[in-house]
């Protein structure tokens, strides 16, 4: 897809065909001079072209309206159009392949419609519908359809015209379809195209009989590469705006709808259809996107996620319930699309053998509650502790979003000794009395309270990870190995202490309290 006057069409906001609107151009500063960056159709008919100084343009067309060029806003709107084009195919991308110095204005989109055209009555009907909708939204548009990106790019920009805003090349006919097009249709840099034209090689067909070696020796590898890509003799990989979903279902309405109840009923139908497809594949969804395509050429999306894979349509519908009211239907919704962006294996459910009156042991109630809270409060609003591969107690667990996918790293080994139920946020220093320099404590003072030890177990040595880089000024407790003791005082309190460091001249071991046992 190519939008030859995208910058000015965006500013017109759907009023491109208004006869009373003055000619419009965008301007940008080039070396201290304001020059035209883009012009609309009326300004182009008056002879204005991009690059013309603004003073000369006003002298030629006094009624010219100008606006500052805003490439970032153009890019944002073009990306929104790429999302909207998802109603035709899940594979869309913004086209940034315009060669430097080629003088080709506007913006473009890539759409890979492989396997999608039959949903719209064929390729020709799909192109008619696509161009009609974009034109109605106020965008001048041209389209090209071919089996290679290079051929489609050339057909959209050099073969399509106003009477027929799209051109299509049948598989295997790319060579004939491109033969009469100018060499600039190969996406060549401006200086390379000018050099070819000066030698009389004006059409793409003029390059066909030339030997590739001679062409590369005279003009570099670019003409050979672009020609081979356009004819399908060399692959040209492209990346989509978002990865295509693994599972997707769609629903088109005979008339635009806008009531929340109608949208909710459409969502229920799509969830049932998606759940059936997931069940056949033995998968469950972990992230779902519900996209509504509006008649004005825009789209809105609601997203939900689950902590564990699910294909329960009722549960997933409940997750979407709070988000439907926030979806603005605008002037009406034409198409609804439900895509499973993330899926995981999910086997068949085992039925409950317990009597109906007995509580179910694992009915997924907690998981569903977490899903509802996380989708209402945000993905980071509900967190859970998950094990982490570390021997240090304060690093052995980490707070992660409850709906985050499970880690694929191997589970860390379980500690051989008991761990306290309550771990202090930071180890607190102690004054400890020990009968022997490397023996267990006999008494310690913590928070102005004296504790006499009547029983102790240990030591259990825990060393830091040798692969972790520590700051040069890291405290001693973070650099030395730790010897942990489980002790009980004369009042029945149970504590988790550790000693770090070794006894050296001028340096004594230090003691810390790290946790409390119930």
- Residues 363-383: pLDDT tens digits? 467 778 888 888 788 777 888
* Average confidence (pLDDT) over 476-483: 70
Q: Which residues contact 92 (CB under 8 A, 6 or more apart)?
A: 82, 83, 85, 86, 109, 110, 111, 112, 240, 241
- Residues 216-275: pLDDT tens digits? 999 999 999 999 999 999 999 888 988 888 899 999 998 999 899 999 999 999 999 999
CATH of 1-141, one of 1.10.357.10, 2.10.109.10, 3.40.50.1370, 3.40.1170.60: 3.40.1170.60
User: Where does 6-130 show beta strands of DSSP type E?
Assistant: 24-30, 33-39, 65-68, 92-95, 107-111
Is the confidence at residue 191, as pLDDT, over 80? Answer: yes
pLDDT band per the 50, 70, 90 thresholds, residue 436: confident
Domain ranges of the chain: 1-141, 250-348+364-408, 422-517
Give the number of other CB atoms < 10 A from CB of residue 459.
Answer: 18
Among candidates 500, 497, 515, which has minimal Cα distance to 458?
A: 497
pLDDT attached to residue 360? 41
Question: Looking at the domain covering 250-348+364-408, what would its CATH class be?
Answer: alpha beta
User: What torsion do the CA atoms of 374, 380, 384, 385 make, to the nearest 10 degrees?
Assistant: 170
Is the confidence at residue 503, as pLDDT, over 90? Answer: no
Pairing of strands 383-387, 2-3: unpaired
Is the confidence at residue 44, as pLDDT, over 50? Answer: yes
Total-model pTM? 0.70
Q: Which residues contact 8 (CB under 8 A, 6 or more apart)?
A: 24, 25, 26, 38, 39, 40, 43
């Amino acid at each position: 897809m190519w939008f030859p006057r995208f910058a000015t069409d965006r500013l017109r906001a759907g009023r491109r065909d208004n006869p009373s609107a003055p000619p419009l151009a965008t301007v940008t500063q080039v070396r201290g001079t304001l020059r035209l960056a883009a012009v609309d159709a009326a300004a182009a008919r008056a002879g204005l072209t991009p690059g013309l100084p603004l003073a000369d343009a006003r002298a030629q067309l006094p009624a010219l309206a100008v606006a500052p060029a805003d490439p970032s806003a153009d890019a944002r709107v073009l990306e929104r159009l790429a999302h909207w084009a998802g109603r035709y195919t899940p594979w869309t991308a913004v086209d940034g392949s315009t060669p430097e110095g080629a003088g080709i204005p506007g913006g473009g989109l890539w759409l890979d419609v492989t396997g999608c055209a039959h949903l719209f009555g064929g390729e020709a009907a799909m192109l008619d519908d696509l161009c009609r909708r974009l034109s109605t939204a106020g965008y001048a548009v041209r389209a090209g359809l071919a089996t290679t990106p290079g051929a489609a790019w050339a057909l959209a920009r050099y073969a399509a015209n106003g009477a027929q805003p799209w051109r299509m090349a049948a598989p295997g006919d790319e060579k004939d379809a491109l033969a009469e097009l100018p060499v600039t249709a190969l996406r060549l840099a401006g200086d390379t195209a000018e050099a070819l034209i000066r030698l009389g090689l004006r059409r793409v067909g003029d390059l066909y009989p030339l030997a590739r070696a001679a062409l590369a020796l005279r003009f570099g590898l670019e003409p050979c590469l672009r020609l081979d890509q356009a004819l399908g003799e060399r692959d040209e990989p492209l990346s989509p705006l978002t990865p295509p979903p693994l599972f997707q279902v769609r629903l088109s309405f005979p008339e635009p709808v806008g009531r929340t109840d109608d949208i909710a009923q459409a969502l229920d139908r799509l969830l049932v259809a998606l759940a059936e497809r997931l069940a056949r594949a033995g998968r469950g969804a972990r992230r779902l996107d519900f996209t509504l395509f509006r008649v004005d050429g825009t789209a809105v999306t609601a997203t939900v996620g689950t902590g564990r894979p699910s294909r329960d349509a009722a549960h997933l519908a409940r997750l979407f319930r709070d988000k439907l009211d926030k979806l603005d239907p605008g002037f009406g919704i034409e198409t609804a699309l439900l895509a499973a962006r993330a899926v995981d294996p999910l086997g068949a459910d085992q039925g409950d053998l317990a009597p109906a009156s007995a509580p179910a042991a694992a009915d997924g109630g907690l998981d569903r509650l977490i899903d509802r809270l996380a989708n209402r409060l945000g993905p980071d609003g509900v967190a859970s502790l998950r094990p982490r591969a570390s021997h240090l107690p304060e690093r052995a667990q980490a707070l992660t979003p409850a709906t985050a996918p499970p880690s694929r790293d191997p589970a860390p080994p379980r500690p051989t000794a008991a761990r306290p139920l309550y771990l202090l946020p930071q180890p607190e220093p102690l004054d400890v009395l020990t009968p022997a320099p490397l023996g267990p404590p006999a008494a310690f003072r913590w928070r102005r309270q004296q504790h006499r030890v009547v029983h102790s177990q240990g030591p259990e040595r825990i060393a830091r990870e040798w692969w972790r880089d520590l700051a040069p000024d890291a405290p001693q407790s973070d650099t030395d190995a730790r010897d942990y003791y489980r002790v009980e005082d004369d009042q029945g309190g149970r504590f988790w202490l550790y000693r770090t460091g070794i006894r050296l001249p001028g340096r004594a071991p230090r003691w810390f309290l790290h946790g409390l046992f119930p």
